[in-house]
Structure 1
Amino acid sequence: MTHAKLMTLSEAIAAFVHDGCSVSLEGFTHIIPYAAAHEIIRQQKRNLTVYRMTADIVVDQLIAGDCVDELVSSFIGNSSVGSLHELRRRIEGKGPRPLRYREYSHGGMIARYLAGASGLPFYPLLSYAGSDLPKINDEIRVIESPYDGQKIYVVPPINADVAIVHAQRADAKGNVQIWGLTGIQQEVAYSAEKVIVTVEEIVDEDVITSDPNRTLLPSHVVDAVVEVPKGAHPSFVQGYYDRDGAFYRQWNDISKDPQTLQDWLEEWIHELTDHSDYVAKQGPQFWDQLASPYVPSLPVNYGSRQS
C-alpha cells in the first residue's frame, strides 16, 4: 500500500520549506535533525527564520549556508566545547550578511511552543523577574493577573510554517515513536503549520501498536515522514548510535576560518547527492565506533479485559 506521507528527504524539503518561511528545528542534545538541515543548505533555501532552543552546530551550518536571516533561540554555543564562529561573525556584523537575533530563556521558548501548540495568544511565566532579557526583547511583555493583580511576564506563540524533528522510528502512516530525551518535540509539532519527521527506520504498523506509549507524534500531526538512517549525526539517537564528540570538538576550528567552513560545506553537503552519500563517505569503521550497545527495555503486558 502506498502512503502519501512517505517521502524522500529531498522531496519533503522541496515541498514544505520555502524561501522566506519560518522553520522550527528542535532536538535537545539528542535526535537533532542534521540531515534535514543539510538538505535545506543543499537546496539553497533562503531568508529563513529559524526557531531553535539550543542554537548549536546545526544552526552555524545553516547560517554559513546563507539560509538564515533571523534566529530565535535561548542558547548559543557548541555544547561547551567551542564557539559557533559563523553565527558570531554574523551577529557582530563581520560576515557577508547580517543576522537578526532574538533571545529568550529556555523557559520562554518552551512557553512559546506551548502557546503555539495550544492556540493561545500568549503564555505567562514568572522566570523573567530580575532578568535583563525583557529590556532587549520587546516581545517579552508584562500584564496584570486578572485574579490578584500580580505582574506577570508573557511571551507570544511560535507557529512556524514548518517544524522538522528527528526520531527513532515511525510507520508509513506517520505515527512516530521517540524514547530517551523526548524534549519538546510534541509541542513543536503541534505548534507548526506543517511537520516533517525524519526517522532512523520505517517499521511495520504492528511494531508501533505493540508499544503505543512511545508514540509521541500521532499520524494526524505529521505531513511527511522520511527514513534517514544516521540522520541526526553528529548528535546521538538513543539505541542507534552515540554522540560524535570528536566532531563537536573539531567544529571550533572548522568554523573559525570562513574559507575552511565553506570548504567543509562544499565537501560534506554540496558535493553529495543526499544523506546516504554522507553516511557512505564516513565509512563503516567510522559508524562502528559510534554503535550503541544493546540495552533493551523490559517488556510490559498491554493486555486488559478479555474481549
Structure 2
Amino acid sequence: MTTDKTMALADLAGHVRSGMTIGIGGWGSRRKPMALVRELLRTDVTDLTVVTLGGPDVGLLCAAGKVKRLVYGFVSLDSIPLDPHFRAAREAGAIETTEYDEGMFVAALRAGASRLSFLPTRAGLASDVLTMNPDLKTVASPYDDEVYVAVPGVRMDLALIHLNRADAAGNGQYLGPDPYFDDLYAMAADRCIMSVERVVPTEELTATAAPQTLLVSRMFVSGVVEAPGGAGFTSCEPDYGRDEDLQRRYAEAARDPETWAAFEKTYLEEDAR
C-alpha cells in the first residue's frame, strides 16, 4: 500500500529548527513556495542557512531576521530587479553570503543531489566569483590540460518546493514552462516538504499531461501540502501569473517601517490567497 504523505500547512513547524540549512525552490519571483515560507515565518526558528535562486522568500526571511547565511545565485523579483529587504541586509552586512553565478549554483545543487563532494565546471573561471569566494578551489582534469572550478556540493536539512500537482504519495508534477531545478532541491535534501495547487489521484497526473511533467519522485518527498495559491504573489503558471500589484506593494512597503508593519499584518499573517 502506498504511503499517504499529505500534511497540514501548520505541520511544517514540526519539521524545522534553528540552525538548519533550508533549500527553497522556484526561481526569482516564480513558483516560490510562499505558503510554506509564510509558515516558516510564523515559527521562532533563527540562524538559518538558506540555499536558493532567490526572490521574495529571501527578502521576507531577511526582514524577519531568520537568515544567518545565504547561498545563492541571485535574489530578484524579476519585474523588480532587486528584493529590497535582501539588498538592505546585504548592504548592512547583516547576513553571511556565498554568492555564485547561476551555473556554479546549479553545479552545487547537482553535486549535492548526487551525493558528491564537488563537481567541476567552467562557470566562474577568470571571474570575480573566485575573488569573492576565496575558499573555492580549482581542479586539474586527469585527462587533459583543462582546469575547472571545483564547486562544493550543497546538502540541505530540508527543502521547500511548490509544484502544480501531486498525488498523496508525493509524486510531484509541474505544468508550467520550467522545472526551476526543484527536483535537485528535493534530491539534495534530507527531507523535502512539497506544497501543490492540488493533490489528485495518481492516475490523474498523466491523464492530460505528458509523463515527463512528473518532476519529483515520491522517494524524495517527506510531506505533501495542498495549498491552492500557495506560490502567490509569485507566479505558478499555468494556474496563475505573478500578482504584479501585490509585488509592487511589497517592494514599496519595505521603504518605511510603519508601512511594512501594515503589510505584514495584511499579508504575512494571513492565509495564502
Paired amino acid for 1:47: D
- Whether 1:143 and 2:142 are equivalent positions in the alignment is no
Distance 1:267 1:4 in 2: 33
Q: Choose which of 136, 161, 182 in structure 2 pairs with 1:185.
A: 182
Cα gap change, 1:139 to 1:178, in 2 (>3 Å): farther
- Aligned position for 1:261: 260
RMSD: 1.9
Q: Deviations over 1:58-91 (max 9, x none)?
A: 2111111222111111113332425423222222
Distance 1:124 1:139 in 2: 15
Shift of 1:127: 2.0
Distance 1:258 1:183 in 2: 33
- Asked if the contact 1:124/1:154 (under 8 Å) is kept, the reply is yes
Q: Choose which of 161, 165, 184 in structure 2 pairs with 1:165.
A: 161
- Asked if the contact 1:235/1:243 (under 8 Å) is kept, the reply is yes
- Aligned position for 1:36: 36
Identity %: 30
Cα gap change, 1:213 to 1:93, in 2 (>3 Å): closer
- Asked if the contact 1:177/1:208 (under 8 Å) is kept, the reply is yes
- Asked if the contact 2:48/2:66 (under 8 Å) is kept, the reply is yes
Shift of 1:101: 1.4
Q: Deviations over 1:147-190 (max 9, x none)?
A: 11322111111111001110011111111111221121111111
- Asked if the contact 2:13/2:39 (under 8 Å) is kept, the reply is no
Q: Deviations over 1:81-130 (max 9, x none)?
A: 25423222222228xxx211110000011000000011111011112122
Paired amino acid for 2:147: K
Distance 1:124 1:230 in 2: 38
Cα gap change, 1:124 to 1:2, in 2 (>3 Å): closer
When the two structures are superposed, what TM-score results if normalisation uses the length of structure 1?
0.82
Matches within 5 A, 1:289-304: none
Distance 2:243 2:195 in 1: 19
Matches within 5 A, 1:118-267: 118-180=114-176, 181-208=178-205, 210=207, 211-267=210-266
Distance 1:150 1:205 in 2: 47
- Higher strand proportion, which one? 2
Cα gap change, 1:150 to 1:212, in 2 (>3 Å): closer
- Asked if the contact 2:2/2:169 (under 8 Å) is kept, the reply is no
When the two structures are superposed, what TM-score results if normalisation uses the length of structure 2?
0.92
**Which range moved further: 219-228 or 172-181?**
172-181
- Aligned position for 2:5: 5
Distance 1:44 1:255 in 2: 22
Please, which runs of 5 or more residues in structure 2 have no aligned partner? Answer: none
Distance 2:148 2:101 in 1: 15
- Asked if the contact 1:64/1:261 (under 8 Å) is kept, the reply is no
**Which range moved further: 167-176 or 149-158?**
149-158
Shift of 1:137: 0.7
**Which range moved further: 73-82 or 108-117?**
73-82
